[in-house]
Amino acid sequence: MKLTLDRICLSTNDLCLRCSKKLKNGEVTKLDIEVGKIIIQAAKQHKFLNSISLEKIISTKNAVYLLVKQGDKEKLEQAGYVFMNMLSDTVGTEVVFIEKVKNVRKFIEGLVSPAEVVNTTTVFIPPSGDKEIKIQFRESDRNKVKISAEELTAIMTPLYGYGAHYFFS
């Protein structure tokens, strides 16, 4: 199991220098400690959680996203609703598992599913030349896209360095 802080530090409640530094410089927050502890606890009962890899925790206005390696989402969901409830009760909002993929389009598709991505284009916004992904959805999928562009951008930026907006046609 890989967590955003050392497992031993989380289990013993005694952060080593490296973990303390991460907390101090804002790379992780108290959420990482709370979530890590719950996962360690749950892994005692659900052994398959011992192979998961939690890469990053992203907190937005609407939810807390746990970025895990490919294949881990299924395992976390298998741990059941007691585990899920404990997570969301602790963080105080909805918890969503997302899998890390290199391909940004695939990543977006995972987040907006079941809505279907028709097309993605990279745009550069003047005057800064900042990069952004423009996503095209079908008009008929309008009600299926639950995530706002703002939320999408908040999740994407720490991972890819740029955000996205979308339109329906």
Residues lying near Zn ion in the complex (CB under 5 A):
6, 9, 16, 19
**Closer CB to Zn ion, residue 4 or residue 58?**
4
Three-state DSSP class for 24? Answer: helix
Please name the amino acid found at residue 145: V
Nearest distance, CB of residue 5 and Zn ion, angstroms: 6
Nearest by Cα to 135 from 165, 156, 101, 159:
165
**120 in Cβ contact with 135 (< 8 Å):** yes
**Closer CB to Zn ion, residue 9 or residue 156?**
9
**Closer CB to Zn ion, residue 5 or residue 145?**
5
Query: CA 104, CA 160: separation in Å to the nearest integer?
Result: 8
Nearest distance, CB of residue 33 and Zn ion, angstroms: 11
Nearest distance, CB of residue 25 and Zn ion, angstroms: 14
Beta strand extents in 30-142 (DSSP E only):
54-59, 63-68, 94-99, 117-125, 130-137
**Closer CB to Zn ion, residue 19 or residue 145?**
19
Nearest distance, CB of residue 98 and Zn ion, angstroms: 25
